[in-house]
Amino acid sequence: MKKELIAKLHRNFGTIANEKNGIEYWLARELQTLLGYSEWRNFLLAVEKAKNACLNTGLHPKDHFVDVNKMVQLGSGSTRSIDDIMLSRYACYLIAQNGDPRKEAIAFAQSYFAIQTRKQEIIEQRIADGERLRAREKLISTETELSGLIYERGVDGHGFGRIRSKGDQALFGGLNTLEMKRKYSTPRKRALADFLPTITIKAKDFAAELTNYNVRKNNLRDEPPITKEHVKNNQDVRTLLSQNNIHPEDLPSEDDIKTVKHQVKTDNKVLLKKHRNSANNEEKTNARSS
């Protein structure tokens, strides 16, 4: 495919993109024209195949294909309502995948929407990784505070470990810290929380925050009453999660938080380098033009 055609198609596909409430979408009748479908009914066949493909991936088609009506002007000057479909980027990708790649517009669309979808996936993953890292750092801070607090109240490091394990047992439906480590194949010397999903890290943090608060409020001392308090808080958090059909012990483990942190740090360095190079190139261009 010639560069001139690729550039033209890129402009055309970018031109028909719409946005509403921060959500990007395309209209099916506009996409139909760009993909070279002369008849709406033939294009709908491709849309139905795309819907089935969407369903087979475990996603709900109604989240990506939304039926709408729009007014069009007739030659006589009057208007009438016609059916149309709001399409997500992923819906456009699936429609293109069900088209004939021998057609240049469809071959371009297959790559265009695949790349755009991948970009969104990368952004979403970076956001999720950042949220998990922040949650883990917050839990470290909360548990450090709890450890120091109860040390002042007669509980040593071994006691803190027992309190935390019994809290985990309440949160994970009877499985203590060591048993959860075995379930997740967590290295014995690594913290369980380094392999937990974000929702579970936040649950542990909330329970520990409650323990911190109530230890101070009720002036609790020594291991038994503090253990009882921490177990109760984890049980309460588990109840809240269960009401939302979330069972922490059944959630899959996540990638090692150290690996995620390293990857995010590396990605940030690469992006920073790209921005610097781009800025330097822009400065050189401006200098030459002046």
> For the segment 99-135, what is each residue's pLDDT rounded down to a tens digit?
777 788 888 888 878 777 666 677 678 778 888 999 9
The mean pLDDT value of the chain amounts to: 86
Using the predicted structure, report yes or no on whether residue 278 has a pLDDT greater than 60.
Answer: no
pTM: 0.62
Give pLDDT tens digits for 134-165: 999 999 999 999 999 999 999 999 999 999 99
Rounded to whole angstroms, what are the CA distances from 129 to 23, 231, 264? 22, 29, 8
DSSP letter at 4?
H
Contact 13, 109 (CB under 8 A): yes
Contact 238, 170 (CB under 8 A): yes
Rounded to whole angstroms, the Cα distance separating 279 from 69 reads 45
Letter for the amino acid at 113?
F
Contact 136, 257 (CB under 8 A): yes
Rounded to whole angstroms, the Cα distance separating 187 from 193 reads 12
The average pLDDT across 48-55 equals 91
Give pLDDT tens digits for 201-238: 999 999 999 999 999 999 999 999 999 999 999 999 99
User: Above pLDDT 90, what percent of the chain?
Assistant: 51
Rounded to whole angstroms, the Cα distance separating 132 from 199 reads 9
Q: What is the enclosing helix (H) or strand (E) of 78?
A: none
pLDDT of the residue at 286: 53
The three-state DSSP-derived secondary structure of 111-144 is HHHHHHHHHHHHHHHHHHHHHHHHHHHHHHHHHH
Rounded to whole angstroms, the Cα distance separating 107 from 35 reads 9
